[in-house]
Amino acid sequence: MGSLSDIGLAAGINILSALGFLLAFAILRLQPINDRVYFPKWYLKGIRNSPRHSGNVVSKFVNLDFRTYIRFLNWMPTALKMPEPELIDHAGLDSAVYIRIYLLGLKIFVPLTVLGFCVLVPVNWTSKTLENAQEVTFSEIDKLSISNIGQDTQRFWAHVVMAYVFAFWTYFVLYKEYKLIASMRLHFLASEKRRPDQFTVLVRNVPPDPDESVSEHVEHFFSVNHQDHYLTHQVVYNANKLASIVEKKKGLQNWLVYYENKHTRNPARRPTMKTGFWGLWGKTLDAIDYHTAEIEKLSKEEDAERERVISNPKSIMPAAFVSFKSRWGAAVCAQTQQSSNPTLWLTEWAPEPRDVYWSNLAIPYVELTIRRSLMAVALFFLTFFFIIPIAFVQSLANLEGIEKVVPFLRPVIEVQVVKSLIQGFLPGIALKVFLILLPTILMTMSKIEGFTALSALERRSASKYYLFLFVNVFLGSLITGTAFEQLNSFLHESANKIPEIVGRSIPMKATFFISYIMVDGWAGIAAEIIRLKPLVIFHLKNTFLVKTEQDREQAMDPGCLEFASSEPRIQLYFLLGLVYAVVTPILLPFIIVFFSFSFLVFRHQIINVYNQQYESGASFWPDVHGRLIVAMIVSQLLLMGLMSTQRAPQSTLLLGLPVITICFHSFCKGRFEPAFVKLPLQDAMVKDTLERATEPNLNLRDYLKYAYIHPVFHSDDIEHPLAIEEEERNPLVATKRNRSTPGDSKYASETSSDINF
């Protein structure tokens, strides 16, 4: 059980850590040698020039202008100056809306904190229930929580009223934000520049045909069923092996550059290497000759594999990117059923080209259900077995309770400074360490499931991560923490008193979550801005691989917002804030510090550093809203259960809150979610009309011709199937079938509904 002194020590450590990271960042960002690490976005836009191009030798590496060090905190107001419309133009709608999640947290929790401290804290503090209880372990912080309220007392009226006030305020903020984001998305889609994905649909599960290839079958089907709007298409190749060869070749080329640079610096000695594991053992060879020979060997292998992919019909997957003459035509195709058999000719909006995850396009559609079922089972076991490290972390957070059961440990942990350090700081840092590899594991599972867009992969991984945090970090910490904390009571009290002990103990876990918030939300966010890993990698590349300015540009790693891990982490803070707003309001100021600091840091990173891989037009917002609704329902159910264990008759009045929350979610879902999953035909027609008026000579076929070619083919001239003009004008499309009508083929382009399911 953490006391005020434990929390104070942990706060001091985390504040000093955060200040240390901020001071290091303020100094590092001013050095010319680090300019490309801390401002890469401006270099990619061609706006910023390197300060190393002028000045003497020393000033190219170290900033000698001491006046800049006096203004080392000027990045903070600068990060807040850029208006939101300019931020959207600069970084995209995804990044701007992501920042608004932190702003949403401030809008919700600042008023809740004021009300909680003005109403609930005095009500909790003036009760003496915990001081008179003999079987419960507690600290000073717990006196500020609902645990300090006695059973069957009128004081619970304050908590019931505040629960409704907090809920309706949150409804109001969420509604306004959802309405604003939906409007921003529609305006963004209406005003954004022309992109290939606006005209293109991804078609999956193309049925086989004995007389036509996949390309011919796709052309035939869409020329018949979308004859006035179909333009062209690109079939999907299984080029995964070719892509791995190309990637391996690039790695060898980097090593060749490294050894050539090394030889240039010391011409008298040829660099050597060992061919064994990690170069630790094996035969010693000339490094330059070895890598040159390996690259030549891979080049031949690459040419052979490329020829095989292009010429082998088995390398063509039953999928294609189909492009249309207008956005309206693409919208109709993407948002309607193409065949009377709903399992064939499945269409969806194509991701923008840089959002496509090409490896998964080679997965047969029939495998997807099996893959996703297997990953669901794997997620269950991963979540279940992670309870073990969670229990270990909670054992660190509840040493006082363990002392009563195993008193021989008391001399070891009795020293106050050691106890404060272990209970106030160690549990939070231990939990963060256990969670480090989790996002990578969950992203790998999402890739195995077969999603074809990076944005879909990130949203799916975010859902898994949130479920994991909810079950293990939140519920797991509550359950295991309560068991450890009240272990003596669990062992010696009768069974009918255990629910009562659990009810009073759940609010006491606020001390553990406060510790976690300070480690992850204060020091962790401060560590984000220093970019230690990209800083080290850039200087290693700059030292060993860079020859030219172009090489230096490629060595920059601006990175992007890791939505799959960062958004669920934000949702955990929303969950903690909503759960403890009524139960333990003392936690809310720590939440506010997190949202404020994160808003500042990530706004700076989005403006100066991150370069998003794709732009989805804030399509992730329904997920954000949905998880907030889940957090509200959980908080309301927990409060109801807690008050019922305290025998508060007012708890029955809380039954209406989950019902109201579900109704609110249904209303918002029906009112706003269609804007995130469908493109209004009216908007598509308006944009098409304006484009035809402003660009009457636009050759859309040439614009879309190579948009969805696999990246490994971008530099190669391969034959792309195009619809011929006669077929576009004639509804009786020519076909290579030996039969007289399209309907004679078992999987033909359906012109009738006589299909056997």
User: How confident is the model over 360-373, as pLDDT tens digits?
Assistant: 988 888 888 899 99
CB atoms within 10 A of CB 609: 22
Q: Are 236 and 362 in contact, with CB atoms under 8 Å apart? A: yes
Would you call 237 helix, strand, or coil by DSSP? strand
Q: What is the pLDDT of residue 66?
A: 72
Residues 423-467 have pLDDT tens digits of: 555 666 666 777 788 889 999 999 999 999 999 999 999 999 999
Structure tokens at 120: 């609930």
> Angle at which helices 681-694 and 156-191 pack, to 10 degrees?
30
Name the region of 521 (left: φ>0; alpha: ψ -120 to 50; beta: rest): alpha
Q: What is the pLDDT of residue 725?
A: 39
Tell how far CA 380 is from the center of its chain: 20
Q: Where are the domains of the chain?
A: 4-191+369-672
* Host H or E run for residue 232: strand 230-237
Q: What is the pLDDT of residue 718?
A: 42
Nearest to 667 by CA among 187, 170, 171, 163: 171
Which residues of the chain are under the pLDDT cut of 50? 1, 405, 498-500, 502, 716-732, 739-757
Q: What is the pLDDT of residue 283?
A: 82
- Predicted structure pTM score: 0.83
